[in-house]
A = this chain, B = another copy of it.
Amino acid sequence: MKLDKKLKICIVGLGLMGGSYAQALSDEGYEVGAVAKRQETIDFALEKGWIKSGVTEVTAEYLKDFDIVVFALYPHIFTQWIEKYQQCLRDGAVITDVTGVKGCIVYKIQEMLRPGVEFIAAHPMAGREKSGIEYATKEIFRQANYIVTPTEKNTQAAIEICRALGETLGFKTVTQLTPEEHDEMIGFLSQLTHCIAVSLMTCRDTDGFEKYTGDSFRDLTRIANINDVMWSELFLLNKKELLRQMELFEDAFGKLRKAIEDENTDEMRSLMKMSTEHRKRFDKEGK
């Protein structure tokens, strides 16, 4: 099986991410179906022309048409779905996901799945500070990274399909990591930074200082506006790696604090120079 426009794709879960997938794929000429909780979500997507059909009840009758099924659900709901409904998937189906953590979910789903259905995991690193299909737009993929995280159980064909899916969705880059590498990277680049933003925003009352705020503070705390249901779940699913990254950060913060306490200018300057040096690596695209 190769990704081509004869394949039918079903999106399970039409939120911000699922809706954006549906839009991108139907715009590319794919026949897209959907399973969603509420009829009004289906109606919204039908009206936009993002899906050709949609149901609120999972049945084998509906799912048997789909070659590829994308799960755009909260992690624990994804697992429950597979447990309950995997018999409804057709033989030979390739399924993928959008989950933001990998180690804790990929092996588990692969273990649970019956033979004849292959799960190839992916993380579309895109999003907005809003949730729900009404905010969905394929534009969120344009500057973003799509990461495929295969295991030894995956076939080369499924990996290729999943990569091709990322390209079709319009992601800027499509890359590959092991689930473990992915979780370390996500722990550092994304989860730790959300922890920092939340801590900065909860560490004190802001005392009317809002009116003195410059762009840096706003930039640093934009992600402090956070979906508490999703992120608390993601934090726990990557608990070990996140705690390790938090500890590394606390150590560095403590080192800088000590240098300030001791009025050790050399140490402060050396940390700041290292910081400037490291930051350059993230500058490549001129941002």
Measuring CB to CB, which residues of chain A are less than 8 angstroms from any residue of chain B?
Answer: 125-126, 143-145, 147, 173, 175, 184-185, 188-190, 192-193, 195-204, 206-207, 209-229, 231-233, 235-236, 239, 242-243, 245-246, 248-257, 260-261, 263, 265, 268-269, 271-276, 278-284, 287
In the complex, are the beta carbons of B189 and A193 less than 8 A apart?
A: no
In the complex, are the beta carbons of A222 and B216 less than 8 A apart?
A: yes
**Assembly of this chain: how many copies?**
2
Contact of A196 among B184, B220, B232 (CB under 8 A): B220
CB nearest neighbor in B for A219: B219
**Residues on B with beta carbons closer than 8 Å to the beta carbon of A206:** 188, 278, 281-282
**Residues on B with beta carbons closer than 8 Å to the beta carbon of A236:** 260, 263, 265
Name the residue in A201, A225, A263 with the highest tally of chain B Cβ atoms < 10 Å from its Cβ: A201
* Bound CA–CA A279/B249 (angstroms): 22
Using A232-B268, A236-B263, A252-B202 as known contacts, say yes or no to A197 and B275 having CB atoms under 8 A apart: yes
Minimal beta-carbon separation of A137 from chain B (angstroms) = 16
Contact of A269 among B143, B209, B211, B232 (CB under 8 A): B232
Minimal beta-carbon separation of A179 from chain B (angstroms) = 14
Minimal beta-carbon separation of A216 from chain B (angstroms) = 5
Minimal beta-carbon separation of A96 from chain B (angstroms) = 18
In the complex, are the beta carbons of B252 and A203 less than 8 A apart?
A: yes
In the complex, are the beta carbons of A252 and B213 less than 8 A apart?
A: no
* Bound CA–CA A278/B222 (angstroms): 11
Using A190-B216, A212-B189 as known contacts, say yes or no to A200 and B272 having CB atoms under 8 A apart: no
Name the residue in A203, A233, A252 with the highest tally of chain B Cβ atoms < 10 Å from its Cβ: A203
Contact of A204 among B228, B248, B273, B287 (CB under 8 A): B248
Contact of A201 among B226, B229, B278 (CB under 8 A): B278
CB nearest neighbor in B for A186: B212
CB nearest neighbor in B for A226: B272
In the complex, are the beta carbons of B219 and A222 less than 8 A apart?
A: yes
In the complex, are the beta carbons of B269 and A228 less than 8 A apart?
A: yes
Contact of A213 among B189, B200, B220 (CB under 8 A): B189
Contact of A228 among B147, B218, B248, B276 (CB under 8 A): B276
Add 17 more A-B contacts to A173-B211, A195-B253, A233-B265 (CB < 8 A): A185-B212, A188-B209, A196-B200, A198-B271, A199-B255, A201-B278, A201-B279, A202-B278, A215-B287, A218-B282, A219-B220, A219-B222, A224-B279, A231-B272, A236-B265, A239-B263, A250-B250
